[in-house]
Amino acid sequence: DCFFYTGELLLCEASTVYKYIQEDGSNRGTCGKLVCTNFKIAFLDDDSASDDNEPQFKNKIVGENDITLQCVDQIYGVYDEKKKLLTGQLRKYPEKLIIYCKDLRVFNFCLRYTKEEEVKRIVSGIVHHSQTPKLLKRLFLFSYASAAPNNTDGRNQTVMFDTLEDWRDELERTKGNVKYKAVTTNEGYRVSEKLPLYFVVPICVSEESILKYQGRGIPIWCWSCHNGAALLKMSAFPKEQDDSTSQMQKAFLDGIYKTISKPPYELLKMDDLSSSLPSLQDIQTAYTRFKQLFLIDNSTDFWATDVKWFSLLESTNWLEIIRRVLKKAIEVAECLERQHTNVLLIEESATDLCCVISSLVQVMMDSYSRTKSGFQSLIQKEWVIGGHGFLDRCNHLHKSDKEEAPVFLLLLNCVWQLVQQYPPAFEFTETYLTVLSDSLYVPIFSTFFFNSQHQKDTNTVRVCCFVDAVGPFRFLTVWDWSVQFDPKAQAFLNNPLYAEKPKPDKSQRKTARFKHQRQLSLPLTPTKSSTKRGFFREETDHLIKNILGRRIGKFINSSDEPSNSFREFYDSWHSKPVDYHGLLLPHIDGPEIKVWAQRYLRWIPEAQLHGGGTIAMAAKILDLMEEVQSLQVKMDEEHSQAISGDVHSVPLLRNSARLSSLFPFALLQRQSIKPALPTSTWKDLEDEDDLVKRDDEFVDLSGGMS
């Protein structure tokens, strides 16, 4: 069957199932078969008359109607119009099934016309395979890898950090090799199963100290800044009841701090992330509330949410968490860049918020991390090899809800803020980040399906029972994008406006002037108004207080934040023109932190803009690039005086007027192009207000009504 992948097994199925979507207030259904395999839940359209217009952007692994088992978030059954969460054993079988996905799709299946036997089988099958605890070896990647043993590793240009060489190269690239060394102490996982096979520590740290507490209390190198200051992370000691043990640990730490605080090492600044950032629990709670805003059942739901949108959004706290994380990353960057101090991030395991902050700092400070391969290498370094517990944090095996926390998604959300604030600084697009977030739930790749390098290594060894199946499993890596997308679709992952090499010619790099910035757009007015910052507040404070009184004073004292060196750093950076290849600081003021619309709104038909969205601009740019290319070709041809005929015209595939903002995701989600009209209105809180009742032209009501 061409529908299944190698290693995929059909577990159960049901026919005469209707998948329906709401459109213009009524339900539109398609009849088909609902199946559940060891890889996914899929809906197979009965009249699968192959679509004429093959979408330009198609995932080869997960189709429009496919839900991988790990992508299922929650399943609800509808009994007599009442929604009920389905988990574990079922006594009664629902007439409707609603599946909420982790990539925010919502599927509605009607089982009313399905045979009772089949309903039982499919519902309990789906619930069992997607919602109940699972063994690691039951993940599809093992079936896939054993059935398709000839997978290439697809290393491309991403540095995997699974060899000593990779770490040495990274040290060399960042010029960290003077003060830091890659160690082999953990070969055979002698030190810890949580640490990678190879990692980097300060040269002065001995092998014994690494071994002493399974790597705890050891500063592990993440990255070195151009000025030599380094970003380090450390896994802290758990709170110890026993006094003598904790005394010993303290002494050990003091020793470590001492060795790495004296020259040639820079001053050390420690940051305990568990106290300076929201807890994983907070993050999980915020995200759970946040995503709920986008898991929309129907149009009525959508408009009901819309009325209270901003307040609902704020109450989730998700954007606030993003802001705090970005702010923390700026603080760290300030220490490294301006104060030339080493920064040591501390967290209990050093594999959650440490990964977020260290990755963000590198994205902000190292332009290599803003290229596609650089970003992928960074994810390998800090997350995959760094030992982030993807399996537990994503709860892929449904082992424990307590461990679940969207830490990696938090990073992607933060990076997205940077991408949308400074598009030319990134080689990849927001679409890249969106498909990367989707890949978290595609169990074909090993990348996001292990807790640590150790876990992957030990499970790669095959329990060999067949003669021909020798050697370890060979898993696919997500970085081989050709597995999911053909080259045409991959084009959407690359930013056509990436500001590639900085031009050496200084005269060309005039800063763009923005007339409207803080100036009225007056004709012929000179446009230099940018204000240099400086404070002569002290001399004027007296004047302000005494002469002008409180009225003005409140404006002056309004920015009395304690972390002034941070503010100064932030403000002074923002007052200069942006160098896309240098340090990049995100704007974190209120209006600048936004919702990642592509990821969160893409499946909501009501939110679709026909002919709009950022894709309209992208299409224009791609067309232009092709035109430039064809002109280039044409010119070369003219140069070589080829006698060939007319230059083939560029096929204009993209018609931005006909694409929708959901592109490249839901191409035909909504068939009609009727406008989505709000069905909700605000409850009038102001009805009592005299202003509201007035006519435009002011008439005194008391007089006029007599």
CA distance readout (Å), 7 to 12, 38, 126, 143, 683: 16, 9, 19, 5, 55
Closer residue to other proteins, CB minimum distance, 88 or 591: 591
Q: How far is the CB of 544 from other proteins (least distance, A)?
A: 7
Residue 160, CB-side half-sphere exposure with 13 Å CA sphere: 15
Q: How far is the CB of 634 from other proteins (least distance, A)?
A: 5
Q: How far is the CB of 58 from other proteins (least distance, A)?
A: 23
Beta carbons within 8 Å of 646's beta carbon, 6+ residues apart = none
Which stretch of DSSP H or E encloses residue 271? strand 268-272
Closer residue to other proteins, CB minimum distance, 208 or 687: 687
Distance CA(95)–CA(77), nearest Å, equals 7
Report the sign of the C-alpha dihedral through residues 446, 449, 450, 453, in that order.
Answer: positive
Distance CA(594)–CA(580), nearest Å, equals 21
User: Using an 8 Å Cβ cutoff, are 344 and 354 in contact?
Assistant: no
Beta carbons within 8 Å of 405's beta carbon, 6+ residues apart = 280, 281, 283, 284, 287, 352, 393
Structure tokens given for 168: 């040495």
Q: How far is the CB of 359 from other proteins (least distance, A)?
A: 22
Closer residue to other proteins, CB minimum distance, 487 or 591: 591
Closer residue to other proteins, CB minimum distance, 188 or 704: 704
Q: How far is the CB of 20 from other proteins (least distance, A)?
A: 22
Closer residue to other proteins, CB minimum distance, 47 or 687: 687
Closer residue to other proteins, CB minimum distance, 147 or 307: 307
Q: Which three-class secondary structure state does DSSP give residue 43?
A: strand
Closer residue to other proteins, CB minimum distance, 208 or 560: 560
Distance CA(613)–CA(611), nearest Å, equals 7
| Best CA proximity match to 436, nearest among 488, 497, 485 | 485
Beta carbons within 8 Å of 659's beta carbon, 6+ residues apart = 611, 613, 615, 616, 619
Q: How far is the CB of 550 from other proteins (least distance, A)?
A: 10
Q: How far is the CB of 151 from other proteins (least distance, A)?
A: 38
Closer residue to other proteins, CB minimum distance, 259 or 279: 279
Closer residue to other proteins, CB minimum distance, 152 or 575: 575
Distance CA(297)–CA(27), nearest Å, equals 12
User: Using an 8 Å Cβ cutoff, are 295 and 106 in contact?
Assistant: yes
Beta carbons within 8 Å of 366's beta carbon, 6+ residues apart = 174, 223, 374
Overall size of the chain counted in residues: 706
Q: How far is the CB of 592 from other proteins (least distance, A)?
A: 8
Q: How far is the CB of 578 from other proteins (least distance, A)?
A: 6
| Best CA proximity match to 190, nearest among 160, 159, 211, 166 | 211
Beta carbons within 8 Å of 204's beta carbon, 6+ residues apart = 259, 260, 265
Closer residue to other proteins, CB minimum distance, 48 or 529: 529
Closer residue to other proteins, CB minimum distance, 177 or 614: 614
User: Using an 8 Å Cβ cutoff, are 259 and 69 in contact?
Assistant: no
Q: How far is the CB of 92 from other proteins (least distance, A)?
A: 37
Q: How far is the CB of 522 from other proteins (least distance, A)?
A: 7
